[in-house]
Structure formats: C-alpha cells, structure tokens
Amino acid sequence: MRKTVVIVLAVILVLIVVGGLAFWYMTGQPFYTPGMVREQKNLRAPLTPPEQLGDADYWQVEPDIQLYHFAEGDGRNVLVVHGGPGVPFRQPLTGLEPLVDTYRFHYYDQRGSGQSTRPFDTFDSPNTYQNMTRLEQTLGLGAQIADIERIRQILGDEKLILVGHSWGGFLASLYAAEFPEHVEALVLISPATTLVMPMDEPDLFDGVRERLPVGKQAEYDIFMKDYLDFNKIFTLSEADLVAMGDQFSEYYVEAVDKPVPEPGELGGWMVWAMYVSMGQRHDYRPALKSVTAPSLVIYGSDDLQSEAATRQYTDSLPNAQLVTINDASHFAFEEQPALFAEAVTAFLMSLQDQDR
C-alpha cells in the first residue's frame, strides 16, 4: 500500500512538473508571426469589414467588435495608433495641431481598451492553453493588425499614413510589414523596444524600477512579481487587470517625474493578449525589411528606453530616419510640441516633394 501511494505521488509530481514546463513553453513561444494576418490565419473574421450601420462614433470591424474613434483636422487621412498596450488617447496630440489644416488625424481605441468593445470579463475554462488561444485570437497582435487593415478599407484609402506612439509604433510597423503596399508613410514616436525578445537592454519594467526611489523599489518588486504571474492570470477579471494596470501607471509616473498625458480607460485582457502574442522569444526585425514606405522615428533624449534600443527600427526599416528631440521623454508631442510638429511637418512635406 505504501509503495502504491509513493508511486501515485511520484506520478502526480511528474504531471505537475510537466504541466509547469508546458505552461512555460506556451508563454515563451510567440502565437503571432509576421505574415499570419495577410494570410488570414488565426483570425475570427475576414479582413473585409462588415457594413457600417451603427453609431458614427464607432467603426464596426467585426460583427461583435466596435472601435470608438474621433478625428481632428481636414485633408489627407492619417491614422494615429495609441500605445500601452491598452492606453488610448483621450484627446488629440498637441504636437499635431499645427498640421490639422492639411491632415485629418483619426484616433481610435484599440479593441479591448478605452471605449471600444471589451469581449471578455472572466474565463471559465480550466484549460489554460484553450484560454490563451481564445484570448490571443480575439485581442492579440493579429486581431489588432487586422483592425488597422479594416480601418483602411473603412476610410477608403489605398495607402495609409500611420502615426504610432510607443506600443502603437510597434503595432504600426508590424502592419506595414504585413501590408507594405498599403502604407504611404510611418511616423514612429518612441516605438516600443519589443521587436526582439529577450532584449539585450533593460526593458520598460527595469527602467521604471531603476528610477524609483530606493525605498520604493522593494514594494515595486512585490507588485511586479504579482503582476507577471502567468500561473494565476485566468483566475482574474477584466476589472482586476485594469486595476493592476492603473497601479503600474502610478509607478511609471513617479519614475519619469514628468507630466504624463491623461489616458483613456486602460485595457485589461487586451494587454495580456499582447504578451501571449509575442511570447518571451521572438525576432520581428527581419519582417520589417519588406517595408518600403519612408519612416520617421522620433526619440526623446530623456526617454526611459535607450536610443540604441530605438535604433532597432531605423536599422530594420529600409527607408527610415531618426530625429532626436532634446528635453523630451516618451511624450515628445506634449513636452516639446513645436519641435515635434517641425519634425513631422518636414518629413511629410518631403513626401509631397517626392510625389511631384
């Protein structure tokens, strides 16, 4: 009898270890690889958007997914892709206001954040892999990239001018890699340094910790251990995840020690869908070699992320230039709006000169 109990316990222990290794493997491998959206793999709905029948403040991108949007300006359409992930803009960027007589800037809340559709509250299934697959397919990188393509069709433009901030710069770059023929130009503002993982340099979380007061770093470490605990993620709710995002935002604001634009309503599950999509090991840099559109990468000299990390974009995009704005951090469009507008105007004017 004792021998049987020992064997059973040993089997249970092996299953726990194997399960843990399997979960570690699943969270490590990327669900999204460039080219999947173009081939319409792992999408819930076609790339062609449904008929726009609802509220004019919303784009219908799938039968059950609406994206809140607003616009400022007149002229050539420009799509602004917010960062985070899951941190939408509440109002237009100050640094783009001098351009509103020539361009119409469209802002939207990515699915799962802001006032757009949030398709999940909680997950009932005990099957972690099934939950991860469903989450990623509904809110992950592929879904977000597909939405940009659907928005392009809704706007009726053959080619998009994309302005992406932080995570939005990363997202806009991946869209351009998927659909290079539909991109006229890219403006990437402090694009997220997530093109390759693991990173060679400290990531955002490390950068925040480094700038916190020494007395608060231990508290931050405890929070981050809880925040990045994938083992319990599917026991939480949308509200739980939003609350954790709010808490991280408080650490971030304290670390940068500069005014930060007030965001819209933060994403919850959407943020974790991004982590699942990317996994812990990927390299998306080769995919950017297919992007032929001119690209402007803007870096703030006081940003938490390094210039070397930001240069991954200029090194990967064939037709890219880097502009550094001094005395600015991650939000150059608010901290140095005149210099920001000057850089973007010069870049967009150069495109017009090339067309003549």
In the chain the first and final C-alpha atoms are separated, in Å, by 88
Q: What is the CATH number of the domain that holds 131?
A: 3.40.50.1820
β-strand 196-197 against 183-189: which pairing, if any?
A: unpaired
- Of 203-212, 266-275, 346-355, least confident by mean pLDDT is 346-355
Tell whether 324 is covered by a domain.
yes
Task: From 114, 85, 336, 316, select the one nearest 204 (Cα to Cα).
Answer: 85
Is residue 1 predicted with pLDDT exceeding 70? no
Tell whether 62 is covered by a domain.
yes
Q: State the total domains in the chain.
A: 1
- pLDDT value, residue 356: 54
Q: Six-digit token pair at 188?
A: 């990437």
Tell whether 25 is covered by a domain.
no
Please check whether residue 192 is in contact with residue 83, taking contact to mean a CB–CB distance below 8 angstroms: yes
Tell whether 9 is covered by a domain.
no
Give the global pTM: 0.91
Domain that holds residue 147: 58-355
Tell whether 1 is covered by a domain.
no
Burial 3-22 (b: 16+ CB within 10 A, else e): eeeeeeeeeeeeeeeeeeee
Please check whether residue 244 is in contact with residue 95, taking contact to mean a CB–CB distance below 8 angstroms: no
Q: Can you tell me the distance from the alpha carbon of 26 to that of 203, in angstroms, rounded to the nearest whole number?
A: 21
Residue carrying structure tokens 């398709």:
119
pLDDT, tens digit, for every residue of 239-294?
999 999 999 999 999 998 877 888 889 999 999 999 999 998 999 999 999 999 99
| Mean residue pLDDT across the chain | 90
Tell whether 181 is covered by a domain.
yes
pLDDT band per the 50, 70, 90 thresholds, residue 96: very high
Tell whether 18 is covered by a domain.
no
Task: From 276, 274, 221, 267, select the one nearest 241 (Cα to Cα).
Answer: 267
C-alpha dist (Å) from residue 342 to 89, 93, 191: 21, 14, 19
Tell whether 43 is covered by a domain.
no
